[in-house]
Structure 1
Amino acid sequence: MASQFGISEAVMNEMSTVLQSHKTMDVLAQVEGMLDQMNSVTLNIAVTGESGSGKSAFINAFRGVDDDDPEAAETGITTTTLGAAAYPHPTAQRVLLWDLPGIGTASFNPETYLEDVGLLKYDFFIIVTADRFQEYHYALAKCIMQAQKKFYFIRNKVDRDLEANARRRSQKGLSDDDVLDQIRANCEKNLRMGQVENARVFLLSCFHPQGYDFPALQMTLLEELEGHKQHTLLLSLPNLSASLILQKKQALAGDVWKRAVAACLSSAVVGGNLCTVASKLMDTLKSYQQAFCVDKESLLRLASITHISFQELQSEVTSTFGKQLPTEEVEGIVSRTDPTYQLLVKKLDMRFPFLATVATGVITFVGSYFLLSSALNSLSEDGERVMKKVLHEAFAKQNIN
């Protein structure tokens, strides 16, 4: 395991800024503070649109929750949202999607509407329609722009348009791509006519979250968020592309050394008990499983949405880290005196003498670091196998239909 990974000079330099103190409690507080700062960010996403546009279905699809799930936003063809309702992500409780009251009624006033729903608390707005964009969509977008907030237009239920086209294809001769191009062009034309310039339009079907523009929407939102909010959203997103999984892996890799130091020092505080190290690391492994959507709860939700059995999805999770590791096994990995560690251990002893004075020592830090690095590699591969399974099944069903 150790030969597969190294600790780069950039990571060494980052560690140097923290491991200057010789007081265990001070260093531990600083490292845990850095981790807590990232994990304490709240992201508020507002979803609005007229009644029947599929706002609630979009919220469920974005969160990776089936419409029949107890945690789902209520869906229906009539108005189901009378006030702003918050729906937390099932594994990232600080990511909140807000189902806002429907727009498009005779009494709708975009300026008072935004004030009523609490404009300033939202990070960005999703405006959903299942048909062409109307005057009230344009008015709402302009008010959001004046407040210097970002917004994104969603043209929902495009699967319905494709099904209608399929019934008359022999007459029109349009392909699915032609129909989608027409829908996008019409949406963009209507928005320009409504004086909403350079608006991005994403074509979606909440019944097929793996297809259409869902992956493009994910990447756009990530590109336009910054800092910890971007990180928070990234780890909550369902896996719809290999590039998204890679981004998750890279983002988590940047904090491996902090989690290894935190585990090592937490153990030292309570007397150098390896069980404490293992407990901290197992918590981190659980969060990694959730980030790559391969934990049991995520797979059960995915099975409900895709109608692929839980057993089939779970069979794609083949790594040791995709299972529940016993505490004793984690302890054994961390404390193993692998000969390939020795050069790195000596280097760290010289670079960070403080770590050498800690009861659990440099060996425990190195073991923790490589365990977490190995887990990231393995779990990202598990997540990609599960994703490919889902996409393969979706493609096969589409061809049958």
Structure 2
Amino acid sequence: MVDVSRGLNLLEILKESVESQKLSEVKDAVEDLLISRINLALVGQRVEEKTSLVNSLHGLCPGDQGAASSSPPLHTEDAVCYPNPKHTDFRLWDLPPVPDVSPFEPDAYMDRVKFSRYNAVFMTFTETLPPGAVGVFLQARSLQQHTVYWTFLVSEKNKDKNLEEKRRASMEMLTSKGVSQPKVYLVRPAALETLDFPALLEDMTKDLPEIRSCALLLALPTLSASLVSQKKEAFKALVWAAASLSGGMATVPVPLVASMVDSSVAVRILAKAQVSLCLDDASVERLARRRGVDPSALKALRACALSVEVTKGGVKSRLAAAEKNVSTVSSKLLQMAVPRQACSAGRSFSAMLNALNGAIDDMAADAEKILASALG
């Protein structure tokens, strides 16, 4: 797998791998991003707000296929997995609350719920912090697991004027229990674009390794224009990697690689983009239901044909048109895209880069229009 040190740009990481002729690592990264493999756990009482958070993170409404039920599981001490119907390797895990017993052994609880296997963990609460949860948090930090976040789930009954007081009280309690410089995020499960969830997402993407961070961004629903922009940049890095594998890099000959990356991979990338940007009919209809708007009005905003349906014929037409007009790719774009050790780029690289980047731009523009209209 690509060496994904924190804080590096995904495109730069992929370039370095191509320069080092580690094409198998780039291929793994492409596959990883197309799958969006990530495990996110929610610890806390199984209340309505927690169920709502699970569904909102998957972009689902109550009653949708794969949506979490408000009914507690038969065995309340079990971890319950909710795979995303559209991104099956993006799994949300509803973990049981930390036991309120004395003495409490954090290690025993963490072993039972397999705490270390999750890429990130939300320590959720709705009123007061369970004392045992603090012990779990401190133990996770001692084990260098830093992607653990205190998440205050704000119900519709909570008045905004009282939220800061509750945050302050929670932070004081955490400080008294030995948590240094605690952060508490206020999250309204039914409206993730409000309050602190955007800041929580920003911190998570900084804390997670680059590939996992991008996988999370691609699997989340389109909550804001900023998230649409981030998704677009991640897809452009993915496009660059796929174009590199197409055999178009003149200085990086890789036997049998060219045949692996053709129009079928371009179809997979754009199909992933359509779902990730919530442009497919089912996603648009769910967004319309949540916001109480006419779904046909939102669907009509899709100007790009690929936003409506990704077909092999449509993708091939784009690639063919780009191949004819490959000379229109500016020298500046090639200079930015081609690794420093490469002297020239083949036509297949340029054509795929131009065709797919243009498609991603058009689809992201449609996503921004739909989101702006839905949010009013």
* TMscore range, shorter length: 0.7 to 0.9
User: Which residue is 1:7 aligned to?
Assistant: none
Identical residues among aligned pairs (%): 22
Amino acid in the other structure paired with 2:120: F
User: Which residue is 2:179 aligned to?
Assistant: 196
Question: More helix by proportion, 1 or 2?
Answer: 1
2:373 maps to 1:378? no
Structure with higher Rg: it is 1
2:238 maps to 1:221? no
User: Which residue is 1:153 aligned to?
Assistant: 150
SS of match in other structure, 1:255: helix
User: Which residue is 1:112 aligned to?
Assistant: 108
Conservation of the 8 A alpha-carbon contact between 1:53 and 1:128: no
Amino acid in the other structure paired with 1:119: F
Equivalent-residue separation in structure 2 for 1:321 and 1:227 (angstroms)? 28
SS of match in other structure, 1:386: helix
- Unpaired runs of 5+ in structure 1? 1-9, 21-25, 163-175, 356-361, 393-401
1:373: Cα distance to partner? Answer: 0.8
User: Which residue is 1:233 aligned to?
Assistant: 216
Give a deviation string over 1:257-315, Cα, whole Å, max 9, x none. Answer: 332355578xx97999xxx9444322221111122221223223333433434323322
Equivalent-residue separation in structure 2 for 1:112 and 1:15 (angstroms)? 41
Moved over 6 A (4+): 10-16, 77-80, 268-272, 345-348
- Unpaired runs of 5+ in structure 2? 1-11, 249-254, 336-341
Conservation of the 8 A alpha-carbon contact between 2:56 and 2:189: yes
User: Which residue is 1:85 aligned to?
Assistant: 80
Aligned residues: 348
Equivalent-residue separation in structure 1 for 2:263 and 2:93 (angstroms)? 37
2:132 maps to 1:136? yes
2:333 maps to 1:333? no
User: Which residue is 2:49 aligned to?
Assistant: 54
Cα 1:351–1:96 shift into 2, 3 Å:
same
Cα 1:226–1:15 shift into 2, 3 Å:
closer
Give a deviation string over 1:80-111, Cα, whole Å, max 9, x none. Answer: 74301222233322222111122344487533
User: Which residue is 1:17 aligned to?
Assistant: 19
1:57: Cα distance to partner? Answer: 2.4
Which deviates more, 299-308 or 62-71? 299-308
Equivalent-residue separation in structure 1 for 2:214 and 2:162 (angstroms)? 35
User: Which residue is 2:268 aligned to?
Assistant: 283
Amino acid in the other structure paired with 2:59: G
Cα 1:262–1:317 shift into 2, 3 Å:
same
Conservation of the 8 A alpha-carbon contact between 2:229 and 2:364: yes
- Superposed, 1:98-109 pairs within 5 Å as 98-106=93-101, 109=105
User: Which residue is 1:366 aligned to?
Assistant: 350
Cα 1:179–1:352 shift into 2, 3 Å:
same
TM-score normalised according to structure 1 size: 0.74
Equivalent-residue separation in structure 2 for 1:77 and 1:40 (angstroms)? 30
Which deviates more, 205-214 or 372-381? 205-214
SS of match in other structure, 1:125: strand
Coordinate RMSD, CA, aligned: 3.6
SS of match in other structure, 1:234: helix
Of the three residues 51, 64, 67, the one matched with 2:59 is 64
1:233: Cα distance to partner? Answer: 0.9
Conservation of the 8 A alpha-carbon contact between 1:133 and 1:187: yes
2:119 maps to 1:123? yes
Which deviates more, 318-327 or 183-192? 318-327
SS of match in other structure, 1:92: coil
User: Which residue is 2:166 aligned to?
Assistant: 183
Amino acid in the other structure paired with 1:67: P
